[in-house]
Amino acid sequence: MQEPAVDIIQKASKGDLKAFEEIYKAASGFVYSCAHRVVNNASDAEEITQEVFLKVHKNLEKFEFRSSLKTWIYRITVNTAINYSKKMKREMPPHKEIENEQPLADTEHRIDNIIENSDNERVLQALLGILNPDQKACLILREIEGLDYKEIAAALRININTVRSRLKRARETLVASRKSGEIKNEL
């Protein structure tokens, strides 16, 4: 996500819908992507994306520029997706199978890359599905979105040592799953 200009953020915070639309256009793709990685379901990710932008619109006037808008929106996205995921787990019957959806194709890639990306996305979702939501959020922000530990701590409003701990546990979980055979070598 490219950071919108300060004047755009200020205009949007005062109710300028065109300015808010610019923020939406700049951030909606990464919000959807992050949400999809947490919940592993396209329609749920769309719902979360809508909810995130409702929260952003409602609270933008409270944004104090102590962090980047990107970090602030990450925090809202990840917290919303984690809460949604936890809510769905509580509401889902224990024997119900989770849909294994194919990710939406990125129109910028050629057909041969789409097939490869689809396989990579399937593998990634299988790996992320093993982790608890807190570990998953930290791992996504670090390994997929490229945030450093300090940015992750700010985005999730947690201590930097908690970030380190969650990442360590996530990696240990993935290694243990591989050794136990839960993750196949083909992945």
pLDDT number for residue 129: 82
Domains with residue ranges and CATH for the chain? 1-96 (1.10.1740.10), 109-187 (1.10.10.10)
Report the residue count for the chain.
Answer: 187
Report the C-alpha gap between 89 and 94 in whole angstroms: 8
Q: What is the pTM of this model?
A: 0.60
118: tokens are 């689809």
Cβ atoms of 152 and 142 within 8 Å: the answer is: yes
Angle, helix 6-13 to helix 17-39, in steps of 10 degrees: 100
Per-residue pLDDT tens over the stretch 130-160 = 888 888 888 888 887 788 899 888 888 899 9
Q: Is the pLDDT of residue 18 over 70?
A: yes
